Structure 1
Amino acid sequence: MNQVMKRSEVPAEHRWRLEDLFADQAAWDKEYNEVKELLKKAAGFQGKLDNAQAIKDVFALEDEISLHSERLYVYANMRHHEDTAEPTYMALSEKSKKLSVETGEALSFITPEILSLSDEQLNALVNDPVLSFYKLTLEEMVRQKAHVLSKAEESLMAQVGNISTAPGTIFSMLNNADMKFPKVKNENGEEVELTHGRYIQFLESKNREVRAAAFKAMYDTYAKQKNTIASTLSANVTKNIFYARARKYPSALEMSLFGDNIDKAVYTNLIDTIHESLPLLHRYMKLRKRLLKVDELHMYDLFAPLVEEFDMKITYDEAKETVKDSLQPLGSDYLKVLSESFSQGWIDIYENEGKRSGAYSWGAYGTHPYVLLNHKDNLNSMFTLAHEMGHAMHSYLSDTNQEYRFAQYTIFLAEVASTLNEALLMDYLLKKSTDPKEKMYLLTYYADQFRTTVFRQTMFAEFEKLVHERAEAGEALTPQDFSKIYYDLNLKYHGSEMVVDKDIEMEWARIPHFYNSFYVYKYATGFSAATSFSKQILDEGQPAVDRYLGFLKSGGSDFSINILKKAGVDMSSPEPIRQAMDVFKSLIEQMEELTK
């Protein structure tokens, strides 16, 4: 499939079946008009939410409006993603976005109005049998109430909202628009301008001089802007502390964890358990040094290929069968739905002109999930298929076992099902592989995922924690402070087998995630939880499978941490992270064995 097709040329069996969501444009228009009418009904509840029956009725209306506006939004945008240049669906996507905003505005009075009731009234409502179905919703409102301010204060906070995005916006402009990087010589000795996109390609070069030059050029450029970037990052920290204090949270970290109802212990436990496991990362660094045959391992060697690129040509049909085989441990019920998904129009498989890049799983309650791919016949695409089908199966099982209000799972849980599928696929491929070169290629692919997703993201999470604690204690944050904290963390994480180049002290300046504070830890917890699940499933069999399927069916029917705990993964304890580290250790041992 070398020639990129036009959308109209894509055969039906390679397309998703969006007709399952709306039969045609007329059906979409009809539902759109119905939502417009329902929005008028919402206004009639304003000022009347002081009794159980009225609250029950408004929640039911809220669910009805949200479900239908979500269906309209998802359909319009998936149609738009089929060919982003197609004007009809570009317009439909805009129309659906406007409706979503209108919906949000029309329903925005509900929570503040209920929260304006006294504590006694609220507690009575939580326990009122009329509202038993909405008990979790009301308990969540009561939990939030302690951090909701008076009407006048909330109005002020809303106005501050625009200013609060400034640090991130300024950083983004500086980083993406204004930063100019020098030219670097590539492997053929040609001068090529360094860019964000090309940086990782340079670091993956087999030529060490190319890697070193790109690394130095990148951080020299950031070092020239260190005062400006330190000011934007410091302003972001100050903003977080302002919000935490204004909303009466003990700290900025606890404020950020509050939404998912995650205890601070989950965050600190991740960092502590990874510290305990650092000797494993140091052992991997030692192995990397030996495999690269270098006297000293430098920071710019971290992405260098350890083995010759092993070209695995895998067609979509082969990928599909391999993914199915690798997920056998999840049992016949899971596999039955998975097999149906491949033949019943869930997936849009190949690239076509104008199609949105990348991959995702999406959908609306009441219809099966959808998966957008841009499949290439390689290993990466096979892992992408396993990953996105993990999301799709999670959504399918949540939707078919939960009412609409409780079907949506949190971001904290979102990456568990997708990463678990990748872990089972990797385990299957490693067990099946007889070619030492192929096996080594797979092992390094997986080991590097541990390094980048668990260790690196935890190091980022620790950096965020340290800089916020320093600011909360009233201490200044200069460019030198940021650099010292960051450099010391690199020394600690990478160990004595690694030469921690001084330039890396500027890396904090190029991480956009630091403007979405305390988010990155979820990558590490999600990966650890998934690896723990996969180990339990492979070791224990059916009891672990039953617990895991229970997790997939839970949606958002309880707090994330409780849903995981019921399924046998307690993220407030070191156990799941230790189980993930056992898997990492076994990868290192297999690599050491293969390269004796």
Structure 2
Amino acid sequence: MNLNQFKSGFIMTLLAATMCLQATAQVSYKTREEIPAKYKWNFSDIYESWDAWEADFKSMSKEIEIIQSMKGKLGKDVKNLVTLLDAQETMMKKAYKVYQFVSFQSTVDGKNMELQAKLQRVGIFFNQMSMATTWISPEMIKIPEATMKQWIASTPALKPQEFGLMDMYRMQKHVLNEDMGRLVSFFSQSSGTASSAFTALSTTDIEFQEITLSDGKTVKVTPGMYSHITSTYKNQADRKLAYEALYDVYYKNKNTYAAIYEGIIQSEWANARAANYESCLDAKLEGNNIPKDVYLNLINTVRENTAPVQKYTKLRKKILGLEKYYGFDGSMSLVDFHKTYPYEEAVKIVTESVLPLGKDYQAKLKTATASGWLDVYENPGKRGGAFSAGVYGVHPYMLLNYNETLDYVFTLGHELGHTMHTTLASSTQPFATHNYTIFVAEVASTFNERLLLDHMMETTKDPKERITLLNHAIQAIIGTFYTQTMFADFEYQAHTMVEQNQPVNADIFAKLWGDIAQKYYGDVSEKTKYSNYPWTRIPHFYNSPYYVYQYATCFASSSKLYKDVTEGSKKDTKAALKRYITLLQSGGNDFPMEQLKKAGVDLSKPEAILAVINQLDKLVDQLAIEIEKLEK
């Protein structure tokens, strides 16, 4: 793994966290110091002191010197290549620890300017290092492929690097020469300007509106408050008021958002052409050897099979007794269910739910929840949401803001899926291949959520809890599979317009969104002035183009794997479980499509996609039955 892959991987981890719940915690502490140690991260597992951190940080410069000393020598002797790769690996192992030690502490103490300064130091060093090593890829690619094969066969030290070294030749036409690479690196910071502008406009400079609700409360409608109102206020007029207040802020800046988004796409297109790609999508897929047909198969198959979503929306409209149904009605609970789940109880439930994956898996999960790997509760200055991020040679660190809701029980199970995936991969793979791709990253997390759903459905006798669980599962499929595919469809069409030199602006983006939404939801939901403008506020479009489709492909993959592991003969399920655990242990030792095929999933065919669609259809029918039972 090189520096850019490391930085990109961690950024993707944080972006993935935006999919997770960001709610106000019921268990709150006025200061972080009040939180018992067993609910907080143990940073000493990474470094015992700041002096130890400083020593590693400074020592990375020595690895840079070794790397630089190999310039012009890589093709002359295999020993030079080994020296380079050893220095890179030593440096990257330190980079994980140096970066995460500061980043994690900043995550739970965002107001600490000293930590921010240290983060800036690390960022500056990484950028300098990136510019100083642009020569490596173009020089390495000059080594003849036959020579490289011979070196790998005769040099044990190169064996762990074989997959990456040989894949380099597949990507040969996209490797920039040193001069071109250096030139592109000069524009790397300016390429991120549009993304920074989106962040500034949507967070720093944004001014949210105040509204007065029917209960007399006056509130400022931030995204978090909007989520709270639309999920708890039974008066539809309150939900509508909150919706209009939130979206009006984005709507008034629609032209600015459109200009920013065009800038994002133009930057992507410029970088793609510089590296000899035919499209931005090709540039995003080629690195992991993902066939373009997989992306197109996903959006085309889902677009033609939206009936279960519309059936669910009609069912919600009926249950809630609404004359007209709007998008802002989608978060309202179908029944009055207010059960809370204390953290220890949630850990117990999740731990019990993973037993089908074996006692060894369950034991490792118990270690994760009892060893300072999880930061559980909200505190002032701590970022929202949830994520799991690894530190090679140490262990994963998992962030929560646990609030005792059912949603957060599932968030706990989801993030522990990531944690277990990282644990199994890091303990099985050498450093060179320990890091799995985003394309398979959400498989373990969504697999665990399905195990959790089944376990809770089997153990509860409360009809309202059953309905709530089914509704959660349905909304998980719609949010993770359908909605993300809809986003992917929008991205593909928007990028294609720019690539074909077609004009784009706020009205064009709005029409594009409206046309796609019509295919997904038809006339079930009412249209509003703001219906065609959600694209203005979706961070993934601006921070990580062509990312979201992987949520959907991972969901499809985990659904297929779950079925294989839990259904069929004892012999078949045992074999399927072995394949699944092998997938988690494989890290990044092969292309993700090949890893999934070995586990039993072929995403180039529509069957895996249709399996999720059929699953949703059955869950909606089951929900209707449970509602009918409750009414009787």
The normalised TM-score by structure 1 is 0.91
- Please point out which of 146, 154, 157 is paired with 2:173: 146
**Counterpart for residue 409 of structure 2:** 382
Which residue is equivalent to 2:604?
572
- Which of 555, 561, 567 matches 2:593? 561
| Deviation of 1:410 (Å) | 1.4
Contact in 2 for aligned 1:532/1:577 (Cα 8 Å): no
Question: Among 221, 243, 255, which residue is 1:215 paired with?
Answer: 243
Code of the aligned partner of 1:382:
V
Rounded Cα–Cα distance in structure 2 between residues aligned with 1:26 and 1:218: 46
Alignment equivalent of 1:585, drawn from 594, 600, 617: 617
Other-structure match for 2:29: 4
What aligned pairs does 1:12-23 form with structure 2 within 5 A after superposition? Answer: 12-23=37-48
Moved more, 38-47 or 265-274: 38-47
Distance 1:223 1:68, change over 3 A: closer
Matches for 1:178-193 after TM superposition, within 5 Å: 178-193=205-220
Amino acid at match of 2:600: G
Cα-to-partner distance string for 1:264-306 (whole Å, 9 max, x where unaligned) = 1111111122123211111111111111112332233223332
In 2, are the aligned partners of 1:42 and 1:106 still within 8 Å (CA)? no
Give, in whole Å, the separation in 1 of the partners of 2:191 and 2:424: 38
Where do 1:420-435 residues align within 5 Å?
A: 420-435=447-462
Q: Deviations over 1:372-414 (max 9, x none)?
A: 3333333233222212221111111111111011101112222
Contact 2:134 2:181 in 1 (8 A): no
Q: 1:472 aligns with which of 499, 514, 532?
A: 499
The answer to whether the 8 A contact 2:28-2:377 is kept is: no
Is 1:438 matched up with 2:438?
no
Which letter does structure 1 place at the counterpart of 2:176? L
* Partners of 2:58 and 2:180 in 1: CA distance: 36
Q: In structure 2, how many angstroms separate the alpha carbons of the residues matched to 1:113 and 1:421? A: 44
1:542 match: 574
Say yes or no: does 1:341 pair with 2:341: no
Instruction: Establish whether residue 72 from structure 1 lines up as the match of residue 90 from structure 2.
Output: no
* Cα RMSD for the two superposed structures: 2.8
CA contact (8 A) 1:219 1:504 kept: no
8 Å Cα contact 2:376/2:399 also seen in 1: yes
For 2:448 and 2:371, locate their aligned partners in 1 and report how far apart those are by CA, in whole Å: 21
Superposed, 1:275-290 pairs within 5 Å as 275-290=303-318
Amino acid paired to 1:524:
A
Cα deviation for residue 185 of structure 1 reads 3.2
2:391 to 357, 361, 364: 364
* 2:386 and 2:411 in contact (8 A); partners too: yes
Distance 1:374 1:466, change over 3 A: closer
Counterparts of 1:116-265 in structure 2 under 5 Å?
117=142, 121-128=144-151, 129=153, 130=155, 131-204=158-231, 205-265=233-293
- In 2, the alpha carbon distance for the partners of 1:91 and 1:231 equals 32
Q: Which moved more, 1:326-335 or 1:101-110?
A: 101-110
Q: Are 1:457 and 2:504 counterparts?
A: no
Paired residues for 1:516-527 under 5 Å: 516-527=544-555
1:510 shift after superposition: 2.8
Q: Contact 2:138 / 2:176 at 8 angstroms: preserved in 1?
A: no
Amino acid at match of 2:292: K
- Mean CA deviation greater in 203-212 or 349-358: 349-358
Q: Deviation at 1:552? A: 0.5
Residue 524 of structure 1: how far off its partner (Å):
1.6
Alignment of 1:292-303 (within 5 A): 292-303=320-331
Of 298-307 and 394-403, more deviation after overlay is shown by: 298-307
Indicate which of 482, 505, 508 corresponds to 2:532.
Answer: 505
Choose from 127, 135, 144 the match for 1:109.
135
Cα distance change of structure 1 residues 537 and 187 upon mapping to structure 2, 3 Å threshold = farther
Change over 3 Å in CA distance of 1:267–1:3 after alignment to 2:
closer
Residue 75 of structure 1 and its aligned partner are, at CA, apart by 3.0
Distance 2:118 2:603 in 1: 42
Q: Which amino acid aligns with 2:147?
A: A
Q: What one-letter code is carried by the residue in structure 1 that aligns with 2:86?
A: A
Q: Contact 1:458–1:524 (CA<8 Å) still a contact in 2?
A: yes
Structure 1 residue 86, shift from structure 2 partner: 6.0
- Flag the 1:241–1:34 CA change in 2: closer, same or farther, 3 A: closer
CA distance in 2, matches of 1:254, 1:225: 31
Say which SS state the counterpart of residue 146 (structure 1) adopts.
helix
1:266 partnered with 2:308: no
**Relative to 1, partners in 2 of residues 1:353 and 1:276: Cα closer, same or farther, differing over 3 Å?**
closer
Q: Aligned letter for 1:467?
A: A
Shift of 1:470: 2.8
- Post-superposition Cα deviations, 1:487-521, rounded to whole Å, max 9, x if no partner, equal 11111101243333453122223333222321111
- After the TM superposition, which of the residue ranges 458-467 and 382-391 deviates more from structure 2? 382-391
Secondary structure at the aligned position of 2:67 is classed as helix
CA distance in 2, matches of 1:223, 1:14: 41
Amino acid corresponding to residue 46 of structure 2 in structure 1: L
Report sequence identity in percent.
33
Whole-angstrom CA distance in 1 between matches of 2:215 and 2:70: 70
Give the counterpart letter for 1:62 in structure 2: Q
Question: What is the deviation of 1:146?
Answer: 0.7
Structure 1: distance between partners of 2:198 and 2:34: 42
Cα shift at 1:476? 2.0
Q: Please give the alpha-carbon distance, in whole angstroms, between the structure 2 residues aligned to 1:85 and 1:229.
A: 28
3-state SS, counterpart of residue 70 of structure 2:
coil
- Output the CA distance in 1 between the equivalents of 2:121 and 2:198: 31
Kept after mapping to 1: 8 A contact 2:400/2:412? yes
Letter of the 1:278 partner, please give it: T
Is 1:403 paired with 2:426?
A: no
SS in 2 for 1:365: coil
Moved more, 406-415 or 495-504: 495-504
Asked if the contact 2:134–2:178 (Cα under 8 Å) also holds between the matched residues in 1, the reply is no
**CA–CA distance in 2 between the matches of 1:346 and 1:293?**
45
User: Measured at CA, do residues 459 and 46 of structure 1 come closer, stay the same or move farther in structure 2, by a change above 3 Å?
Assistant: same
Matched, 1:53 2:61: no
> Relative to structure 2, which stretch is displaced further, 344-353 or 448-457?
344-353
Taking structure 1 as reference, are residues 501 and 333 closer, same or farther at Cα in structure 2, changes over 3 Å only? Answer: same
Structure-2 separation of matches of 1:85 and 1:173: 18
CA contact (8 A) 1:69 1:99 kept: no
Deviation of the 1:579 alpha carbon: 2.2
Match of 2:8 in 1: none
Residue 498 of structure 1 aligns to a residue in which SS?
coil
Change (3 A) 1:352 1:509: closer
In the alignment, is the contact (CA less than 8 A) between 2:29 and 2:35 conserved in 1?
Answer: no
Partners in 2 of 1:85 and 1:224 — Cα distance? 31
Q: Which letter maps to 2:288?
A: D
Compute the displacement of 1:257 (Å).
1.6
Matched, 1:43 2:68: yes
Moved more, 455-464 or 295-304: 295-304
Are the structure 2 counterparts of residues 376 and 175 from structure 1 closer, same or farther at C-alpha, using a change threshold of 3 Å?
closer
Report how far residue 169 of structure 1 moved. Answer: 3.1
Gaps of 5+ in 1: none
8 Å CA contact 1:351, 1:374 repeated in 2: yes
Deviation at 1:441, TM superposition (A): 1.3
Amino acid at match of 1:510: R
Q: Deviations over 1:322-342 (max 9, x none)?
A: 111111110122112222333
